[in-house]
Structure 1
Amino acid sequence: MTDAAPRLAAVAETLLGTPLPVRIRAWDGSEAGPPGAPLLAVHDRRALRRLLWKPGELGLARAWVAGELSAEGDLYAVLERVAGLLWERGPLPGAPDPADGAGAAADPGREPAAAGALLRDPERRAAVRELIALAGPLPPPRPPAEEVPRRSGARHTRVRDRQAVSHHYDVGNDFYERVLGPSMVYSCAYWSTGATLEEAQRDKLALVCGKLALRPGLRLLDVGCGWGSMAVHAAREHGVRVTGVTLSREQAAYARKRVADEGLTDLVEIRVQDYRDVRDGPYDAVSSIGMAEHVGAERYRDYARTLYALLRPGGLLLNHQIARRPAPDEEAYRIDRFIDAYVFPDGELSPLGSTVGELERAGFEVRDVEALREHYGLTLRAWVARLQEHWDEAVRLTSPGRARVWLLYMAASALGFERGRLGVNQVLAVKPAAGGAAGLPLRLRTWNG
């Protein structure tokens, strides 16, 4: 029989309590759902077992990474409708979300999480039984190999941070070239009408340099220097002496070659070093572009104080950082499980107000905040387009699962920025000099022309 899709659609509508927003194609070739709606293909019933054992985002992500789910046609349309269910309703109604890991795999006879949740409503109880029948009686599949193993110990120690950075950035420089393009800038670009990705990234680097008022002879510390784009731009265009630090050895090797190819070795030094171990201040300016997301809420004050100590009086900090919307109950806020498991292990997002507050507590005077939320949506869509264009190469350079991780992460993040769930902000702060002098012009925004 070829009736898996209609059965699955009926189960989904019962459990979600809403009409199915996408069309489903099941592993047996059957289809169900609104005609003409974006299509979600369920290639393998193993995807259902993942959802039974891990309802919600992580179960869906595991099935996607394993190739058991895919979007056909407009990727963004599928993700927006599926993500809308998660954002607005959470996982299956009433389903618990137990600690993940070896426990479920080690006890395959244990009742699936979703099956123990619903279960005073006869219709939903029947729907869960139908879902179990569709999924089959086998135990939950192991997580895809791309998932970060369970971690132990305190977050954001030097060793654990180095491991987290390596997981995300040491995927291969050739892979990142396919996604990011020649600029090799892995942060929000600064767009103008008709600009290319390369032009928008150049304009972002110019914006940062303008805010920091860089000029020949100044010393710049670029924290989380990545593949050296900011360091090269600042030295080449403004004649500053740059120290770039990263925890990624692959990034450092790539950045050093760029510096040498540009003939800038007398101005730029690239180190594999934790920012907490930099001891050769004071610097005239610090740029931190897309790095602070790795710091962690409990370490953020130390991060701010460290950068404050590395600046001379009157020195400037440009902190470019992704932000999340404040949660109604901040104590109940949880790190995104897909991002933590597959993309940025131990990464944390904070509301803009928290970031500004911590910078001020460290002694900085915050002088300007510029929100670039819409710019990041455009940037991510450009990266997704490049990944799709170079898909076969990306798979060859990494793995099918890793390429799927990046596709899902970037496309879903684009929607997050476009819908206002995420933001990104450039915060310009100064370390006040004696008597409170900041040394800044009366009209700051001359960098915007």
Structure 2
Amino acid sequence: MGKNKGVAPRLADALGIVLGTKEIPLRLRAWDGSEAGPAEAPVLVFRSPRGLRRMLWSPNQLGLSRAYVAGDIDGPGDLFKSFSELSSVGKFAELKAFRPPTPRERLRLVRTAIRVGALGLPPAPPPEEMDVSRSGRKHSRKRDAAAISHHYDVGNAFYALVLGPSMVYSCAVWDEENVGLDAAQEAKLDLVCRKLGLRPGMRLLDVGCGWGSFALHAARNYGVDVVGVTLSKEQAALGRQRVAEGGLADRIEIRVQDYRDVHDGPFDAISSIGMAEHVGGGQIDSYSAHLSGLLRPGGRLLNHAISWNAGEMPPDPDSFIPRYVFPDGEMLSLTVMIGALESAGLEVLDVEALRRHYGLTLRAWVHNLEENWDEAVRLTSEGRARVWRLYMASSALGFERGLNGVNQVLVQRPGGEEPPLRRRDWM
């Protein structure tokens, strides 16, 4: 069958309807061997009619994501290049939610599906998808625990492949682009310690402590006593193991505990690194008030969180990342975050934007995943590895385009010791 005939041109028309564009900036390759689109463009492969069927039943980002996670479509080349091309057209470029196809467009999709043998019942979502809305009231303790388990309890060995020896799952701080991921993560951990003004004998609460990397750094290098809390049992197990192996069991306690259930303050300092995204807009005021109440007068809180920078429209709650990666996760604007902290009676000392740093961090994680692809699939599943590749590559471009930001907001509870006159004390 000729390269310019067959299924591929019809797929291009269908994909254009979903994306909201007449020009598809990719080279489409169909299951019958036919191709369509610019010859030099990145290739998108439709392995079976099921990929089109998923688009027919969910003609939006979710349908495309399901097809990729299930292996019905594939991007065998540079995923960053493919996403960069897609982000320049249609609904991606307009930064709008995917508009449902008109009745006429949906009829075109159905006709295309009939002609290429793709019509049928909706395929079941890949098993990696989670409909967290079935788990009870949003941001209840039970539902938050389920959402955290979905994301973090996929195997510590898998995360070790992606994150590297640091086991830090948040934005690194890069002095230069070529310093390497481990050095950049070490720099971030130390920067947080300095911003918090940690000194020997202080008591630190690490909210969302992960695998204990920050707790270990703070206790080992600054002589503080640390309480770390996480909702992930797998994180806590490995964190406790790392603490014991580091000879710091008398200085660090790691708990499986909701931050709302921590009542044994006061603490001299609190770190919240990559955790506030799980709190939600409806809970951010009570989150801020609770942490403020755990601080001693003069104590500092460092809140490190992703922000939504692309105007008034929040991300679609029924899209890929809420379904597959961060159920119930919410990116709040920097304005909302600072407002909540100030409303809790905390004084803002410093705000540092790290948007470019997260693009570099995510690209390093994607590199680690792709370099260890076969082992990642063995440890989890091909679908899970695809979820992480899609999520991290698309997120990297989101930070690089300025859709997302990440900010460290340093605040202090009034009273006690005055903050330094200049930022150089922690920089």
TM (norm. structure 2) is 0.94
The aligned residue for residue 300 of structure 1 is 284
Task: Give secondary structure in 1 for the equivalent of 2:75.
Answer: strand
1:253-290 Cα deviation digits (max 9, x unpaired)? 10111111111111111111111111110000000000
The aligned residue for residue 342 of structure 1 is 324
Among all aligned residue pairs of Structure 1 and Structure 2, give the percentage whose two residues are the same amino acid.
57
Measure the CA separation in 2 of the matches of 1:70 and 1:86: 21
CA drift at 1:80 = 2.0
- One-letter amino acid matched to 2:422: R
Measure the CA separation in 2 of the matches of 1:128 and 1:89: 26
**Partners of 1:416 and 1:422 within 8 A in 2:** yes
**Partners of 2:13 and 2:22 within 8 A in 1:** no
Task: Give secondary structure in 2 for the equivalent of 1:298.
Answer: coil
Deviates more, 1:45-54 or 1:226-235: 45-54
The aligned residue for residue 213 of structure 1 is 197
CA drift at 1:372 = 0.1
Which of 273, 281, 304 is the equivalent residue of 1:289?
Answer: 273
Distance of aligned partners of 1:322 and 1:9 in 2 relative to their CA distance in 1, 3 Å threshold: same
The aligned residue for residue 167 of structure 1 is 150
Counterpart mapping for 1:72-91 below 5 A: 72-84=76-88, 85-89=90-94
The aligned residue for residue 102 of structure 1 is none
CA drift at 1:154 = 1.4
1:74-112 Cα deviation digits (max 9, x unpaired)? 1111122224434235789852xxxxxxxxxxxxxxxxx
Measure the CA separation in 1 of the matches of 2:98 and 2:221: 56
Is 1:252 aligned to residue 236 of structure 2?
yes
Counterpart mapping for 1:37-436 below 5 A: 37-84=41-88, 85-89=90-94, 95=100, 114=101, 117-119=102-104, 125-126=107-108, 129-134=111-116, 136-149=118-131, 151-152=133-134, 153-193=136-176, 194-325=178-309, 327-328=311-312, 334-335=316-317, 337-433=319-415
**Partners of 1:93 and 1:118 within 8 A in 2:** no
Which of 23, 28, 34 is the equivalent residue of 2:27?
Answer: 23
CA drift at 1:128 = 5.0
- One-letter amino acid matched to 1:155: K
Measure the CA separation in 1 of the matches of 2:322 and 2:205: 28
**Partners of 2:163 and 2:368 within 8 A in 1:** yes
Which of 13, 35, 41 is the equivalent residue of 2:39?
Answer: 35
Measure the CA separation in 2 of the matches of 1:282 and 1:297: 26
Distance of aligned partners of 1:11 and 1:252 in 2 relative to their CA distance in 1, 3 Å threshold: closer
**Partners of 1:49 and 1:135 within 8 A in 2:** no
Task: Give secondary structure in 1 for the equivalent of 2:282.
Answer: helix
Measure the CA separation in 1 of the matches of 2:179 and 2:274: 22
Measure the CA separation in 2 of the matches of 1:208 and 1:53: 46
Which of 400, 412, 422 is the equivalent residue of 1:443?
Answer: 422
Distance of aligned partners of 1:185 and 1:93 in 2 relative to their CA distance in 1, 3 Å threshold: closer
Measure the CA separation in 2 of the matches of 1:231 and 1:156: 26
1:120-152 Cα deviation digits (max 9, x unpaired)? x7xx85465224433522111010011013533
Deviates more, 1:177-186 or 1:66-75: 66-75
CA drift at 1:294 = 0.4
TM (norm. structure 1) is 0.89
Measure the CA separation in 1 of the matches of 2:96 and 2:75: 20
- One-letter amino acid matched to 2:93: E
Task: Give secondary structure in 2 for the equivalent of 1:215.
Answer: coil
Is 1:8 aligned to residue 15 of structure 2?
no
**Paired residues, number:** 420
Measure the CA separation in 1 of the matches of 2:213 and 2:387: 25
Q: How large is the RMSD of aligned CA atoms in angstroms?
A: 1.9
**Partners of 1:360 and 1:366 within 8 A in 2:** yes
Q: Gaps spanning 5+ residues in structure 1: where?
A: 96-113
**Partners of 2:306 and 2:404 within 8 A in 1:** yes
- One-letter amino acid matched to 2:347: E
- One-letter amino acid matched to 2:43: L
Measure the CA separation in 2 of the matches of 1:70 and 1:90: 24
**Partners of 1:323 and 1:349 within 8 A in 2:** yes
CA drift at 1:11 = 4.2
CA drift at 1:426 = 0.1
- One-letter amino acid matched to 1:446: D
**Partners of 1:364 and 1:429 within 8 A in 2:** yes
Distance of aligned partners of 1:336 and 1:373 in 2 relative to their CA distance in 1, 3 Å threshold: farther
- One-letter amino acid matched to 1:40: L
Measure the CA separation in 2 of the matches of 1:19 and 1:352: 36
- One-letter amino acid matched to 1:351: S
Measure the CA separation in 2 of the matches of 1:90 and 1:353: 20
Measure the CA separation in 2 of the matches of 1:335 and 1:25: 31
CA drift at 1:340 = 1.0
Measure the CA separation in 2 of the matches of 1:241 and 1:92: 46
Task: Give secondary structure in 1 for the equivalent of 2:137.
Answer: coil
Distance of aligned partners of 1:252 and 1:92 in 2 relative to their CA distance in 1, 3 Å threshold: closer
Measure the CA separation in 1 of the matches of 2:95 and 2:7: 24
- One-letter amino acid matched to 1:289: I
Measure the CA separation in 2 of the matches of 1:135 and 1:325: 42
**Partners of 1:48 and 1:135 within 8 A in 2:** no
CA drift at 1:336 = 5.8
Task: Give secondary structure in 2 for the equivalent of 1:412.
Answer: helix
CA drift at 1:9 = 2.0
Deviates more, 1:17-26 or 1:284-293: 17-26
